[in-house]
Amino acid sequence: MVEAVAAFELKNLRDEKIAFSGTSDALVCFIKEDCPTCKEVMPVLMAMYEHFAGGIDIQIIGQTLEGNKALDKAYGPGFSILDDSALKVSFAADVETVPTLFRTDADGAVADTLIGFVRDEWQDLLQRLSAEFAQAEVDLDWQSLPQWRPGCGSLSVDPSNADRLRAEAENSPIRARKIDVGAQDDEFEFMFDQGFSDGLPLVPPTPERVLRMLEGTRRDAQEIIGVMAPNLGEVNIEKIAINAVMAGCKPQYLPVVIAAVEAICTDDFNVHGVMATTMGASPVIVVNGPIRHQIGMNMGMGALGQGNRANATIGRAVRLVIRNVGGAKPGETERSVLGNPMKFTMCFAEWEERNPWQPLHVERGFDASDSVVSVFTMTSGPTLIVDQESRSADALAGTMGQTLEGIYNPKAHFATNCLLVVVPEHVDTLMRDNYSKADLRKRIQETSSRPTRDLVGNDVSGAGLKAATAAGMSEEALNKMMPKFRTEEDIHIVVAGGEAGKFSAAFHGWVTGNIGSIPVSRKIDI
């Protein structure tokens, strides 16, 4: 039981600030409008106030502002109810039931505590106060009042408020509502049942694990970094940390996850469109800079596959945020006709030390010393580009161009972009002829170019330009060579993979530009 009512300052219904020192003779009562017992007690509180006001400090505290207004309108008491809708005073006073009345002495210690309404207890207290202050007894028809009424639960112990209030009182960064799991329930099955999972088991996000995860960043846990479609859920650092725990991340991965989520929350990335398309698009995350080594990311053998905790869990954490905060769930707003494995995770680091060109983040305007995450929207991949025979850069780049022409279908030109992952052995072949990234992009466009007339749908394949459109085109227009990609900038190039093996790969993009998704890069706040 509380030993003293701490000092507080609250506003009354006249918007006046009322201070309570916590060290005086006082009666402090907590009520709420939707509690029948509190309504039963209102006449007693009114009589008490009229009788003792001026001789003893009397404060009536309500737990909702609108409820306070309703009580004031219904009863017209002489006092103005104080607004504790933030519930901090109720929590500090350890109020579990309303009404609760505290009588404090001149030192602020609680001398009496009345919980609910027991007529004899309330009558006895008011009689003792009358004797103490040499006044007549309170003029109240006690027999008209019920002998006993149980109170109602205080809003400060409501599960939707209690953990937040406790965290604030303890100066903890955690504010999310805690979900209690029954002693006989399996916590892993519980998380499946609640729809938190991507289909694989999750690590339970206990307060201890979330606090440990938050140690991975200096940013405030309640900082809102964006709004995640389609549910337009506010994404703060704490929510990201919770999903990072569930994904299996280490705390040092958290800055990468935060930066990736920041990128995805932008209008340019258009996560709603990405996750809602029936084509099955998904984010692909590429990490550059010193943080790759600091957190042990894989950029070499098997970089696009399983086996590395950082790669796997960073990508998974981002997707869990999209699912659990943004609300993109398969069969609901996520409408992918087939889906793809990248919807579980796809995150890897570029092997900058094996890259003879500018690494991705430098190409995108960052300093080489910056740690950066870049997020692309891709519909499939990695699709292998197999060329073990070419010995010249032109020949190898030609193979890449011919393979990339197959994105969507060979007639789908100007339709999308790609992320080309060049492996070290192919890098070596390209560098025999001192190929630059610009050379590689130009060659891909050359070898994927086709006359416009070859891109018209026909009996062999109905895909491509509509015959009716082609019928209105001039011979010159039909003979014009059309490369696979609208611009060379639609070919994004990184280096990764094992030292042995001439198998580069490509991720196939989605709709590009303002009507689709634009790749976004963010500096990682370490």
| pLDDT more than 90, % of the chain | 88
Exposed, middle or buried by CB within 10 Å (0-12, 13-18, 19+), for 208? exposed
Q: What's the pLDDT tens digit per position in 319-345?
A: 999 999 999 999 999 999 999 999 999
Domain spans of the chain, in order of start: 8-169, 188-448+483-523
Residue 53 pLDDT grade (very low, low, confident, very high; cuts 50, 70, 90): confident
Q: Which residues contact 103 (CB under 8 A, 6 or more apart)?
A: 26, 27, 110, 111, 112, 113, 125, 129
Q: At what angle do helices 36-52 and 119-132 cross, to 10 degrees?
A: 10
Q: What's the pLDDT tens digit per position in 365-402?
A: 999 999 999 999 999 999 999 999 999 999 999 999 99
Helix (H) or strand (E) holding 401: helix 393-404
d(CA 347, CA 434): 29
Residue 457 CA, distance from chain mean position: 44
Is pLDDT of 1 > 80?
Answer: no
Helix (H) or strand (E) holding 48: helix 36-52
Exposed, middle or buried by CB within 10 Å (0-12, 13-18, 19+), for 483? buried
Residue 135 pLDDT grade (very low, low, confident, very high; cuts 50, 70, 90): confident
The answer to which of 162-171, 194-203, 495-504 has the lowest mean pLDDT is 162-171
Q: Which residues contact 232 (CB under 8 A, 6 or more apart)?
A: none
Tell how strand 117-118 and strand 148-149 pair up: antiparallel
Is pLDDT of 163 > 80?
Answer: no
Q: What is the mean pLDDT of the chain?
A: 95
Give pTM, 2 decimals.
0.77
Other C-beta atoms within 10 Å of 175: how many? 15
Q: What's the pLDDT tens digit per position in 265-323?
A: 999 999 999 999 999 999 999 999 999 999 999 999 999 999 999 999 999 999 999 99
Secondary structure letter of residue 7 according to DSSP: P
Assigned fold of 8-169: Glutaredoxin (3.40.30)
Asked if 497 and 423 count as a contact pair (C-beta separation under 8 A), the reply is yes
Q: Which amino acid is at 74?
A: A
Q: What's the pLDDT tens digit per position in 402-456?
A: 999 999 999 999 999 999 999 999 999 999 999 999 999 999 999 999 999 999 9
